[in-house]
Structure 1
């Protein structure tokens, strides 16, 4: 009896060993495939990439709400030029809740810049790179960022053209042409990188920078939606590879893939947005030597950020 039981157990053990071996081979194959796709994406974009290649110090940490936050910056110059940040956003992903949130900080916001006195928030990038901008945001708004990502204008154009070869479908709400280098007509249309850049940069109308920030947030949501409708988890490594040469970031590729994978597989992919300053919390002011600024009620804006990020 005991001998028979022992003989029956051997095939079962062997069967489980085979199953484990197959699973390990599948995992190894998936990793190898992802790596090859990632490298192919990099090779596809590398010759066109002309972005800032400086390695920046960045000492950020997770935000106080348990999320992973990324300081997203659009730069108005290339290479080693000192430039102001044309676009300032803080993106938060919360793995426990599966939420994606985006805070836009208007570039004319008048703040304390550590070690440099008062100035427009976008000047902090020119004075001390993403680390000083991170410190400035933390000191004035009490939120931190663990990572940074910088895309300059030329990189943005190439990135859009590589990732969306048929263009990005977006509703252009009005005719736009002043100081953006392209002419846009109203209506639903597909925009290539150059025209989409013009769309997100336009601000010469009655609403000025407020309209531009609204278009930037709208474009981020549109890009996320259209990427998810076209791509799959299997194609994600190549797209991350395509993006990599156009973005200066301290995020590792595995972290980008992890967040991207969760976004693709999520049932609710909505990106919530907030603009700083919020309505009723600021006034226009003119400062000698600085120009027109937005003077904020910081307590109101810090509370709005807390309410937005807290679960």
Structure 2
């Protein structure tokens, strides 16, 4: 195809090229200028001018194809026009590929584009809000359904919980309660504080060793008897543990959850019908490595006799009963410290494996059942709304700490003559501050 001659001056061609490339950023004046230059280029006539330039007036929204009257008017002026200096300048090279599309150019109106984008953003967030609301309502319904399936719900105790500075601290107590025993006869096998919904977007877990010596009335007692004393004083075991932790470690706890042997096993089997994946590990026994150990099987006790269950070392699926026995074992060379590590491992596995989004509703129903079986003051609304975010935070890692650290204590005896752990409380108050739990 033959090259089309341009009736624009060199400077006008440059200006037209610039305006076309920046078409989305032009103000009203520049858009008018672009439309005029396009009109001149499309007429195909050589550029003529009078002593005073002739620029026809037009409205902002006029298009080039609506300018036919100006063609006739320019013909009337043609005899009065003279060739300008610009007409004898060397021809400016055409950008053929770009100019050939001039007739298809549509000058956008910036205000309308912005309004359209704002409308899309609003619709997106509205749909997102409705989806989240529907999910929460559905989870809440299934949670209540799970609670309703339990005939006899566990009673909650009086608990004067206090808010913490960063996130929510939850006291988790695992008791050695057995069938036929009253709560005043039980002690706490595990004492943990779980910190969730904090600024670090991580789950933090602190275990307090049960043999840590604390001062009660001027005498040294082991930490695990604090629950027993509280239960003997009007069923306030969890509250007494909270007060002891506040007095000795200066840590505030908002909620509590009390889990005994049977409740723990039932909860695991309800939430994880296929079991929990655990890489079972034990320390040496009498200085010798082991490939398996025999652990007490408390849930199968008959006539006061507790049988054993063999658990092998390595990766495996554990049901609720096996997971309980694994978490309670303390007959390897690490003793209570090894048991505390296994308890942390079990709780971390539960939280990280409960995050499958495809089980939001069935999981909520199972959680409702577990909630009804557990003595706790955690509000139902917190479970439904904040529990999901806490589980998602577990993907960023679970920061685990044991107090005291292994070997960081002095052996001393409690008031009953039992060997306990004397520790530096000021040191561990600072450690809890570093973790963000105080």
**TM-score normalised according to structure 2 size:** 0.60
Whether contact under 8 Å (1:176, 1:202) holds in the other structure is: no
Q: What is the alpha-carbon root mean square deviation over aligned residues?
A: 3.0
1:42 pairs with one of 133, 147, 155: 147
**What secondary structure sits across from 1:176 in the alignment?**
strand
**2-structure distance, mates of 1:235, 1:157:** 19
What is the CA–CA distance in structure 2 between the aligned matches of 1:215 and 1:37, rounded to whole Å?
Answer: 32
| 1:167-186 equivalent positions in 2, closer than 5 A | 167-174=275-282, 175-180=292-297, 181-186=308-313
The structure 2 residue matched to 1:154, chosen from 262, 285, 304, is 262
Equivalent residue in structure 1 for 2:331, among 204, 226, 250: 204
* Alignment partner of 2:207 out of 97, 104, 116: 104
1:107, CA displacement in angstroms? Answer: 0.5
Give 1:117 shift. 4.1
Write the distance in 2 (CA, Å) between the matches of 1:222 and 1:23: 31
Superposed CA deviations along residues 135-188 of structure 1, whole A, max 9, x for unmatched, are 001111110101000010100011111111111111112422143442211221
Which whole-Å CA distance do the structure 2 matches of 1:34 and 1:116 have between them?
49
Tell me which of 217, 224, 227 is aligned to 1:122.
Answer: 224
**2:111 alignment counterpart:** none
1:261-280 matched pairs, under 5 angstroms: 261-266=388-393, 268-280=395-407
Contact 1:156 1:246 in 2 (8 A): no
Matched, 1:86 2:186: no
3-state SS of paired residue (1:177): strand
| CA drift at 1:100 | 1.2
The reply to whether residue 242 of structure 1 matches residue 369 of structure 2 is yes
Cα offsets for 1:63-116 (capped at 9, x unmatched): 2x3221000000111574212111100011144332210000000000123x58
Aligned pair 1:221/2:320, yes or no? no
User: Which structure is richer in relative contact order (CA contacts within 8 A, separation 6 or more)?
Assistant: 1
Corresponding residue of 1:69: 169
User: TM-score of the superposition, structure 1-length normalised?
Assistant: 0.83
Higher mean C-alpha displacement, 72-81 vs 97-106: 72-81
Deviation at 1:217, TM superposition (A): 0.6
Contact kept in structure 1, 2:293 and 2:311, CA below 8 Å: yes
Equivalent residues of 1:155, 1:246 under 8 A apart? yes
- Relative to its length, the structure with more strand (as a share) is 1
| Mapped partners of 1:172, 1:60: distance in 2 | 35
Larger radius of gyration: 2
Aligned residues: 290
Q: Is the 8 A contact 2:269 2:319 kept in 1?
A: yes
